[in-house]
Structure 1
C-alpha cells in the first residue's frame, strides 16, 4: 500500500536541505505524483519513445532512477528487442527499494540497479539515456561534462530524454509559474506549511535552468536537435537527438 507523504507536515524550527533518504524513499511515489504535474504522461511517453528508439543489443541507462518507474516503462515497451536496462541512483535507500520493485515483475528485458553517482557512470553502447528530474540535482558546474559523457556513449541516432523543472526567463513569468505549481500542490492535499517547508528544503539542492540554457548546453556537447515535447507550469520534458551515422564514400 502506498504511503502518504507527510514529511513536511509538522512545523520545523530549522528546515534541512532535501535528501533522498529513507524517509523520502518510503513515500516517494505519493510525493512525486502530488508534486510533479504530468508525471504519468511523462512515464508513459518514455515507454513510447523506447518502443521507437531502443535498438537490439543496446543499453538503456536511467540516471537517477529512484524507484525505477522510468526503467519499468522502458522494460514493458521493448519486448520486440533485446536490451539491457540499467538503473543508476546514488541513494542506497532508493536502490534497495528499487531492486525489490523491479524484481517483483516478470519483464521481457532485464533491469539491473546500481548504487553510484551519475557522474561516475560509464555510458556505452546506449540507444537511450533517461534523466527524469535528475540533472537539476547535479552541481551546475558538472552538468555539461555529464551531458558530454552521455553524448559520447550514445550510439548514432540515440536519444537522451531529459525531464526538468525549469525557470522562465522573466521574473514575473517565473513567479506566475511558481504560483501555479504551488496551487497544484495545494489542490493535491499539501498544506501551506508543507509547500513552504519543502520549497525551503529544495532551495539549495535543486538549482534550475531556463529551457534555452538546456538547449544551448545540449547542442554544445553535440546533440543535433532538442525537442520540448511536454510542458506544464515550470516542468518540462525534452528529447535530445544524436544524429544518425551518415553513410557515404570514405
Structure 2
C-alpha cells in the first residue's frame, strides 16, 4: 500500500448560500476561527462525519456555522473539487452545495467561525484572492449554476417570499443575471410558461399604477419554454446523432 493510501482522504462539504439583500446578490461568508487561513473569509462548511450523507452534512454545517434553518432554503449539490493541493492540511475532497433563499436574516457564527456575514457577490468577484482555499473557484461555479438554473428551472421563486408579483420575480432575474429585462416581454414569458406561476386571486395595491396580481410558485420544476439570457440558445435534452449534427 502506498503512502498516499495510508494517509487516506478526508471529505468535506462547502456551502454557497445566495440571497438578495437590498437589491444585490449576496453570498454568506464566515471568518475562519481556526488554521489554516485563520482570520480569512471562506464559504461555510466542514468535515463529513461517520454515518452522514453529504446532504445531511451540508444541512448540519449550515445550521451549526450560520444558525440558518436549512428548511427555508433550496439546497442542491453543485459538484466535487479534488485538486490534490486544494487544502494545506492534506488530501481533502470537498463537495459543494448551492443554497438559495429569500432575503435571509443576518446569520450567527457557529463553532468554527468567528463571524458570519452577507457580502455582495460583486465585491468578491472583483477580489477573488480574499477567499480561503479554492473557494473563489467554487463561488464562480455556483454563480454560473444559479444563473443557468434560472434559465431552465423554476428555482428563481426560491428568492421570492410568497406571495410575489411578476415585478418581484423580474428583479430576481435582473439581479442574478446582471441584466436589465424588458418588463412586458418578461411578463409575457413567465405567465405563459407551463405551471411556473399560480395566481393567488389577490392583488397588491401599494405599487404605483394599477394593483399588481400576486402569485405563488406553481408545481413545475422545469421551465417550459426556457427563459434564456440574451444571446444564448436553448440546450437540447438529448444528444443528436452524427447525421443530425450535419443538418441545418
Q: TM-score, length-normalised on structure 1?
A: 0.25
- The structure with higher relative contact order (CA 8 Å, sep 6+) is 1
| Larger Rg over CA atoms | 2
- TM-score (norm: length of structure 2): 0.25
